[in-house]
Amino acid sequence: MRFLVLIFALFLSACGKAPLVQTKSYVFGTLVDISIDGETEEKAHEVTSQILQDFQRLHHQYHAWQSDSELSKLNQSFVAGKTPIEISPELSQMLTQAQTLSKQSQGLFNPSIGGLISTWGFQRDEFTPVEINDAAIQKLVLANPQMSDIVIKGNAVFSTNPAVKLDLGGYAKGYALDLALTQLQKQGVKNALINIGGNIIALGQHGDKPWRVGIQHPRQPKPMATIDLLSGWAIGTSGDYQRYFEQGGNRYCHIIDPRNGYPAQGTQAVTVLLPPSPQAGVLSDVTSKPIFLSLPDQRSNAATTMGVEHYLVIDGNGNVTLSASMNQRVRWLAKPAKITVQ
Amino acid sequence: MKGALRCGKPLLGDVLVIVVGLIFVAFLFKTLWHNEQAAKLQIRLGDKIYATYSLDQNRNIDIQGPIGITRIVIADGKARFESSPCLNQYCVHQGWLSHKGQAAICLPNQVSLELLGGEKPFDSLNY
Amino acid sequence: MPNSTKNSRIEIHTSPDDHRIAKLAALAIGLHLIEAVLPSPMPGVKPGIANIITLFVLYRFDFATAAWVSLLRVFASSLLLANFLSPTFALSLAGALLSLATLFFAQYLPRHYFSAITLSVLAAFAHMVGQLLVVRFWLIPHAGIAYLIPVFMTAALVFGVVNGLLTNYLLRISPAKFDEDKG
C-alpha cells in the first residue's frame, strides 16, 4: 500500500511547475506590472524588487515637477542663465539620446516643452481640468524651446534658450524599460514582461508561447486586439484617452503639439511595435508621438522618418489604419468597422 | 471465489484497480485544479447569474434568496459565504475561495459562488 | 366455484432466503439512516457503508437480489427521512442505479483476481458519477462544481477500498452459516 501512496505523491508533484510571478506596483505615477516566468518565486521577487528600486530612483531623479529632482534643478539653471551645470552621466546620456530623437522627428518629439505641459495642467499627480490660457500658450510657443537649444559638453549642460523646460514624460518610461531589460539579462532571467503604464517590453516568452499583450480600445473599457510580443520587442501607445479633460465639447489630451501649443486633435490612438534593439523601450515611448501629431496623410511619412515599420493608428472617428507588417501581427478581439492597410 | 474470501486482503486485480483509480484521481486533480488566482466572482441566484464582481475590490453583498438573506464577502482577492439563512451552514463552512474554478453552493437558499479567472487572452495590457 | 374459496386465499411462501434478504435490507436501511444523520465534512462526501450490504448480497445471493436490497434501501430510507423525490433522494437513486449498472458488469470479473474491493471501488466511483450527473444537469446547471470533482472522486476511492475490505472480511467471517441457509 505504501508504494501506492508514493505513486500518488509523484503524480501530484509532477503537476507543480515554476509559477508565473506577477507583481503590480505604482511608480512614475502609473501602474508598473512585472511578470517573470520560469524562475523560482524567491528569485523572481528579488529581481522584481531590484527593478522597482531602479524605477523609483529614475522617478525621483527625473521628476518634472518635484523641485528637488535633478531634472528640476537643471530646469531652474536653464531659467537662471547660460552657466553650465554638472549633471549625472546618465542624464547627460539621456539628453543626448532625446536630442537625436527630437531632431529625427523634426521637433514633433520635444521634451523641452515642459512649460506648455505645465500650462495645460498635465504636470500634476491628481489631474484636474484647467482654464485654457491662450495668451500664455502663445507666448510659450513663440519662445520656441527646442532640444537643440541644450548644449551638452560631457556632463556639463546649459541652454541657449531660457524657455527650455525639460519634461521627460514621453521618454523616461521607455528608458526605464530598456534599463530593466538590461537588469533582467544581467540577473540571468530568461523570461519576463515589463509594463510601465502601458509601454511594454518582452524578454523570452511565457511558458512555451510568446508573451501576449492586449491593446486597449480607445473608447471602450476592453482590449480590442492582441499582439504576440517576441523576445526583445517593445510596444507603446499614445492615446487621447489616458490623460485628458473635456471643455466646450472638445477633448484636450496630454499629447501637446509643440508647433501650436495645443493638444492634438483628430487621433484617438497610435500604437507602435519596435524590434529588439538597445533602445527598443525608448523608441516604443517616443516614436508614437510624431505619428500621433501628424495629419492623416503624413502619418506614414512620420513613421518612416522615425524608423517605425509596425504601426497602428485609430483616427478621430475610430477608423483604423495600420502598416502591412503590423496587420500581420495584430489579432483582433473586436474587429473595427473600417480597416485600411498602408 | 472461495480463494478470494478466505483472505480479506486485496488480490492482484484489486491492486490494479486501486492503482488505476489513483491515477484517475490524480488526473482529475491535474486537469480540474488550477493554481491560477481568480479574478472575478460570479454569483448565481437560482438558475440566473445574479452578478459578477471583481475580486480586486473589497465589498459585502447581501442577496435575498427564497429563504432569506445570504451575505457574501469579497476581501483581498478572496470570496466567501459570510452568513446564510440555511440550516446546515455547509456554505459558510466552505470558507474562503481564492482560486479559479473554486465554487461554493448554498442549495437551500439557491445561491452559488464560482470564481472565474481573469479570462484575459493576454499577459499584460498596452494602453 | 366452491373450491375457489380456498384458492383465492393469498399465501405468501417465505423461504429462509427471503428472511435473510429482508434482514439485510433492514440492516442496509439502518446503516443508510445512521449515515444520513452523522455530520459530513462536505455535502456529498459519505462513506456509503450501506453499500457493503449490497456487495455482500451480490456475493451471497445474486445480482437481482442485490439490486432489490439496494433499491429498497434507497426508497425506504427516503420515506423514513421524509425526503422522497427531493434532491437528496434523486442523488441517492442516481448513485444507486449507476452503481448497480456497474456491478452488473463487474460481477463477471474473474474472482480469482478481483475481490469485493474491486467491485466496491468501481461501485463507489459509479455512485459518485451518478450523483455528479444529477448535480450537474439538475441541481446546479453550470460548471461550478468541477473544482470539487477530484475531492469527491478521492473520497469515493478511499471509501470504496475500505468498504471492499470490510465486505471481504464479512464474507470471510460468516461464510458457513449463509452457505448452510442457502443450501
Whole-model pTM?
A: 0.58
Quote the CA–CA distance of C71 and C93 in Å, as a whole number: 8
Measured between beta carbons, the chain A residues lying within 8 angstroms of B35 are 19
Angle of helix C16-37 relative to helix C175-182, nearest 10 degrees, comes to 140
pLDDT tens-digit profile of C100-133? 999 999 999 998 899 999 999 999 999 999 988 8
**Mean of pLDDT values over A9-34:** 69
Domain spans of chain B? 2-32, 40-116
Interface of B with A (CB under 8 A): 15, 18-19, 22-23, 25-27, 29-30, 33, 35, 120-127
ipTM: 0.79
pLDDT at A233: 97
Q: Do B32 and C149 touch (CB under 8 A)?
A: yes
pLDDT tens-digit profile of A202-220? 999 988 889 999 998 888 7
Judged against a pLDDT cut of 70, whether residue C2 lies above it is answered with: no
Measured between beta carbons, the chain A residues lying within 8 angstroms of B22 are 4, 7-8, 11
Confidence grade of residue C96 (pLDDT, cut at 50, 70, 90):
very high
Quote the CA–CA distance of A50 and A251 in Å, as a whole number: 39
Judged against a pLDDT cut of 50, whether residue C180 lies above it is answered with: no
pLDDT at A175: 96
pLDDT tens-digit profile of B65-113? 889 999 999 987 889 999 999 887 878 887 888 887 777 888 788 888 8
**Mean of pLDDT values over A14-33:** 73
Q: Hunting for cell 471583481 — which residue is that? A: B54
**A226 SS3 class:** strand
Q: Where is average pLDDT lowest: A158-172, B5-19, C41-55, C131-145?
A: C131-145
Of all residues in chain A, what percent carry a pLDDT higher than 90?
A: 61
Judged against a pLDDT cut of 50, whether residue C83 lies above it is answered with: yes
Quote the CA–CA distance of C124 and C30 in Å, as a whole number: 19
Confidence grade of residue B120 (pLDDT, cut at 50, 70, 90):
low
* Residue spans of beta strands (DSSP E) within chain A: 21-27, 30-37, 85-86, 150-153, 156-159, 191-196, 199-203, 211-216, 223-229, 234-239, 244-247, 250-253, 267-274, 310-315, 320-322, 330-332, 339-341
pLDDT at A8: 47
Domain spans of chain C? 16-182
Judged against a pLDDT cut of 70, whether residue C38 lies above it is answered with: yes
Judged against a pLDDT cut of 60, whether residue C42 lies above it is answered with: yes
On whether the A63-170 domain is CATH 1.10.3980.10, my answer is: yes
CA atoms A125, A127, A132, A138: torsion sign: positive
Quote the CA–CA distance of A320 and A74 in Å, as a whole number: 41
- CB proximity list for A3: less than 8 A, separation 6 or greater: none
pLDDT tens-digit profile of B13-65? 999 999 999 999 999 888 877 666 788 898 988 778 888 888 877 889 999 98
- CB proximity list for A74: less than 8 A, separation 6 or greater: A85, A87, A91, A157, A166
Of all residues in chain A, what percent carry a pLDDT higher than 70?
A: 93
Binding-face residues of C in 29-88 toward B, CB within 8 A: 42-43, 59, 87
- Compare CB distances from A216 to B29, B121, B125 and report the shortest one's residue: B125
**A298 SS3 class:** helix
Q: Do B127 and A237 touch (CB under 8 A)?
A: yes
Confidence grade of residue A3 (pLDDT, cut at 50, 70, 90):
very low
The CATH architecture annotation of domain A21-60+190-341 reads Roll (3.10)
pLDDT tens-digit profile of A133-183? 888 899 999 999 999 999 999 899 999 999 999 999 899 999 999 999 999
Judged against a pLDDT cut of 90, whether residue C6 lies above it is answered with: no
C112 at B interface, C-beta within 8 A: yes
A288 at B interface, C-beta within 8 A: no
Quote the CA–CA distance of A249 and C93 in Å, as a whole number: 67
**Which of these, A143, A164, A141, lies nearest to A258 by C-alpha position?**
A141
CATH of B40-116, one of 1.10.510.10, 3.30.70.120, 2.60.320.10, 3.40.50.920: 2.60.320.10
Q: Where is average pLDDT lowest: A79-93, A245-259, A305-319?
A: A245-259
Quote the CA–CA distance of B49 and C20 in Å, as a whole number: 52
Confidence grade of residue B5 (pLDDT, cut at 50, 70, 90):
very low
pLDDT at B2: 44
- Higher-pLDDT residue of B122 and A179 is A179
Lay out the sheet containing A310-315: strands in order across: A21-27, A30-37, A191-196, A199-203, A234-239, A267-274, A310-315, A320-322, A339-341
Q: Do C111 and B47 touch (CB under 8 A)?
A: no
CATH of C16-182, one of 3.40.50.970, 1.10.1760.20, 1.10.3720.10, 3.40.30.10: 1.10.1760.20
Listed in order, the ranges of chain A carrying CATH 3.10.520.10 are 21-60+190-341
Q: Do A213 and B19 touch (CB under 8 A)?
A: no
- Compare CB distances from A206 to B29, B121, B123 and report the shortest one's residue: B123
- CB proximity list for A81: less than 8 A, separation 6 or greater: A158, A162
Instruction: Calculate how close chain B gets to A181, using CA atoms only, in Å.
Output: 16
For residue A58, how far is the Cα from the chain centroid?
A: 14
pLDDT tens-digit profile of A60-105? 999 988 889 999 999 999 998 888 999 999 999 999 999 999 999 9
